[in-house]
Structure 1
Amino acid sequence: MKPSDQLSEFVREALAQGGEPAQIAQALTHAGWSAPEIAEALHGWEVSPGLPPVPRPRPYASAQEALLYGLLFLSLGMVAWHVCDLGMGLIDRLIADPAEGWTYGGSSSARWSIASLIGFAPLFLFLNRKVARMSMGDAGRRRSLVRKWFASMTLLVASLVFLGDGIYAVYAFLNGELTARFAAKAVLVAGVAALVFAYYRDELND
């Protein structure tokens, strides 16, 4: 039996014998358990009059959901990347840069981005709708550890992109290189990162 299971079983037996949560927490602290471990163990059981301690739902992991959320995460990343790529190509065409002139030759890159969006955007929409339906039909899926891990990874990447974009914009400004074209590209990247962050920000609160 794992230490966490031993702790949970002790808490269950202590509650079943009428022990108070504060008293149990004090005994566990004296035995060397940490405060987060104690809080998690106590939170795992619901005490109701006339009934033994009732277990509360716990997070879980599923290989099937790992595949589902992995594809969702990948498709979202590809959509965001190629939206930025197309947007930057459009900015290069619309905003002239005196230092570079009209040297944009990204037609091949634009075609590749369009093809990728045609493939990944419907996949993302399909998977996102599937996940939403699964969550509506089974609220327990909101406790999926895989779901939370991929949401955390998405928010981490979006935060790093947003932070890096801001730092680079400040550096360009201090270096006297903040042109209209550069500023437009920085706003585009920040906007896409902010949309991704806003889309997933509530996932960790479930």
Structure 2
Amino acid sequence: MTSADVDNIINVTFVDDTAWRNAISGVTINGTPINLADVNISAGSISFNPANISALQTPGNKTIVVNATGYSAATVVQTIGVGMLSISGSTFSVNPALAEGQTSAATIRTNDQYGNAIANQNLKYDIVIDVDDTDPTTDEAYTIHNRSVNGDITIIGIDTTSNTQGDIQFNITLPATVDVGDGVSVLVRRYSDLANIGSPITYSKQ
């Protein structure tokens, strides 16, 4: 058993036998037949590209069976891991919706390109906070990631490990009173390249 992931080509090696290799008639992964056009067979190696094979786009142990005419089936178990963080595939959400005097849980869901949750992995990210205080009647203070904020600020380089569901969470608490027209916007972005994760979470008092 070797290690691989959903992002990269998977190579299964064997002691080459030209006659056996030329007699290969079919391949299954966890019992599902694979189109041989999606399998690259060469001397001593069979390669699979997860981009072309849905059975390899999820993590776990995959039983690969190679059938060759006139030979017994050859079986190998391949462990597949999740891929790297996908910006387009990850999300940023809040529950419950932001409301005055209430604390809500903001959640970064870290997924790879195929939507697999990335559990127990490190993510370094920023929180970009924009405060709209158009009406000066109340100087609203919002508590975001345990920090009291009453103006625009970016919290840089938060280093966190996702939980077993692939989630990273922090709290957002709104003050009891927010003037009409005032509000807050909270955006998260990856620290390394400033790529936004999901869409901003916003609240504007109507």
TM-score of the pair, normalised by structure 2: 0.28
Compare the two structures and name the one with the higher helix fraction. 1
Higher relative contact order, chain-length normalized (CA < 8 Å, sep 6+): 1
Compare the two structures and name the one with the higher strand fraction. 2
